Amino acid sequence: MVVLLACTAAGNVLAADGATGVSPALDRMSLSLGAVRADTSFQLGVSTPSGRYETPSYEGERVTIPRVRADFLLGHSQGVSLDYYRYDKSYSSNLNGSTTLNGQPLSGTAALAADARLEIGQVAYRWWMGQGADVVGLGLGAAYYRATVGGTVTGSVAGISNSGADGFERSTFAPLLELGWRHAFTPATRMFVEASGVKKNGGSLNGHIYTATIGAEWFPVENIGIVADYGVSRISLTRDLGREDSAQLNLRLHGPSVYVKMRF
């Protein structure tokens, strides 16, 4: 009986919220502060005076990435979404001969020393469809990203020692597409699924960033809650200044995130 009364009360609140025109799965305004705890996979390709070096995929250690998100509703079913995070990591590893120079494997032990920094800021205008406990969203916008990469690879080919170093710092804008689904179990408990894609062809910095996330929200008090999710991001960026001058960064991030969310 107690469970039945609780479910009935929650349903009445959800219906009341729906009657106002705003889904209980959405907030008028919210700000989330937290971090992503991610496992990383790193691969680097650089063109140097010695030739073209390609490293294998290097499994890096787990890193903590700070992240800030904000959402604003404009009316009942449209709004603006903002997202910013920064990845900053140094790599140093023996590559055990699996690195190539102009397609030929480096003999002996190759060594990689690299620094990678990636800043990503996104803004999207969202349309939400549905006024009950479930809403589906579509977002269109732009992403700004700045990549800074520097790396040195050393090894030997045919008994001759070789080393190469390269680096770049570039920034650009690219179109952004977002898809999302949100569900409110009660006014204090929700779940969500999100996916986004950024892709840019041409220019001195091009590539793609794809992200998928599933998570849940819980508000122990009305305006402050906890968000936990698990996400996967695939990042591939290329600095292209001509056939003889290019560098590529491939990065994969996957792991849980935790945020403190304030809603107004």
Show the domain range for 239: 2-263
The pLDDT, as a whole number, for residue 71 is 98
The pLDDT, as a whole number, for residue 81 is 98
Q: Is the pLDDT of residue 251 over 70?
A: yes
**Average of per-residue pLDDT across 127-152:** 89
Q: pLDDT tens digit string along 46-59?
A: 665 556 666 667 67
**Average of per-residue pLDDT across 228-255:** 80
The pLDDT, as a whole number, for residue 17 is 44
Instruction: Please report where in the chains the tokens 């803004």 appear, as a residue.
Output: 123
pLDDT tier for residue 159 given thresholds of 50, 70 and 90: low
3-class state of residue 166 by DSSP: strand
The pLDDT, as a whole number, for residue 171 is 87
Please state, in angstroms and rounded to a whole number, the distance separating the CA atoms of residues 188 and 10: 9
Q: pLDDT tens digit string along 9-31?
A: 344 444 444 445 789 999 999 99
Q: pLDDT tens digit string along 95-116?
A: 554 555 556 665 555 565 667 7
Count up the domains in the chain and report the number.
1
More confident residue, 207 or 242: 207
What rounded mean pLDDT belongs to the chain? 80
Residue 38, exposed/middle/buried by CB under 10 A (0-12, 13-18, 19+)? buried
Token reading at 53: 């070096």
Please state, in angstroms and rounded to a whole number, the distance separating the CA atoms of residues 143 and 14: 34
The pLDDT, as a whole number, for residue 18 is 43
Q: Is the pLDDT of residue 2 over 50?
A: no
pLDDT tier for residue 209 given thresholds of 50, 70 and 90: very high
Q: pLDDT tens digit string along 227-238?
A: 999 999 999 888
Please state, in angstroms and rounded to a whole number, the distance separating the CA atoms of residues 192 and 255: 16
Residue 86: CATH number of its domain: 2.40.128.90
3-state secondary structure 183-245: EEEECCEEEEEEEEEEEECCCCEEEEEEEEEEEEEECCCCCEEEEEEEEEEEEEEEEECCCCC
pLDDT tier for residue 89 given thresholds of 50, 70 and 90: confident
Q: Is the pLDDT of residue 242 over 60?
A: no
Question: CA separation (Å) from 190 to 100, 136, 237, 240?
Answer: 49, 14, 34, 43
